[in-house]
Amino acid sequence: MSDRSIAELIRLDCDGELDPAQAEQLQRHLEAHPEDRTLVESERRLRERVGVVMTAACPSAPADLAERIRHRLETDEGDVEAEPAGYAFAQWLRGPRRANVYAVAASLVLVAGAVLVGILGPQIDDRPTRAGQAIEAAASVAGEHVATAGSDGAMITYSSLGEAQRLMEDHLDAALTVFDLGDAGYEFVGAMACDVPHCERGCHFLYRRQDRRPGLVSLHIVPDYGQFDLSEGQPLKGKLPLDSTLFPKDSGCAQDVIMFSDGKLVFLVVMCVSEDAMNVVWTMQGQLRHTNVDEP
């Protein structure tokens, strides 16, 4: 089937309009191409977000507003200069829904008569922030850290620093600062691709104490598209160069996790030795700020 045909089936599925034959056809496609399940989820989340905005911004809108917006979403083929921030499915956007986010804003302006682009902005995304996502991510990386420490780093894939940086940059589709934690008493061990909840892709860099005493640092890195609300943790205001949040060890989180962002990537730091945490994260953030200043 063509990409356009699949896109149409996914849209109909999210609207609850598939007939049995189409549902079977879509199911066969998703079984053969499980990676396309993310497109189904992105469509559903977009509809949820539009519903929230419509309810909040247009409480007295005409009764047929939802249908008129849906029609505009289905038919708008206008060219878009740039993709919405954080929307990773470039091929998906090039299909019949490539302007879907902008069509929502345009429809609301046209039908409701209100200038809502500023309200919608880049937040109308296939992955809007959900309560608890940052907590869930912190718990996940803490668990992976414990598993990695228990295997003494045997899970790590790339032990060469140069290879790790090159392959992980390709994996994240973003430039990476490879941190030198020597001043904090740690040395690079290796890196690997990893899964972090609510992220398409992520990587895991591992460091160990230079004196070989027990103690590891796990650094998980994922793209930042606003999926995490750092206020869910304990803010470390004034203690680090960048705004950072602590997700403390508890029944759901195996280790303390410190999370921060440079606006492009989110960094999740997990440590065996909690007393070293602030020094390690301070070292990372200092190098990160220095790198960003040096960028053209």
CA dihedral 125, 130, 136, 141 (to 10 degrees): 30
Topology (CATH level 3) of domain 133-294: Protein Transport Mog1p; Chain A (3.40.1000)
Region at 263 (left for phi over 0; alpha for psi -120 to 50; beta for the rest):
left
Its pTM stands at 0.57
User: What ranges in the chain are assigned the alpha helix state H?
Assistant: 3-14, 20-32, 37-57, 65-75, 90-93, 100-112, 117-120, 133-150, 161-172, 277-294
Concatenating the DSSP letter of every residue in 148-173 gives HHHTTTTT--B--HHHHHHHHHHHHT
- Tell me, what's the pLDDT at 117? 38
Distance (Å, rounded) from C-alpha 158 to C-alpha 247? 28
**Helix (DSSP H) and strand (DSSP E) numbers for the chain:** 10, 7
Proportion of the chain above pLDDT 90, given as a percent: 34
What pLDDT is recorded for position 4?
A: 58
The pLDDT of residue 92 is: 41
Q: How far apart are CA 107 and CA 11, in angstroms?
A: 18
The residue ranges of the chain whose pLDDT is under 50 are 57, 76-128, 293-296
pLDDT at 67: 61
Question: Kindly report the CA angle at 233 between 232 and 234, in degrees rounded to 5?
Answer: 135
Q: Which residue(s) pair with 221 in the sheet?
A: 203, 267
Domain(s) of CATH 3.40.1000: residues in the chain: 133-294
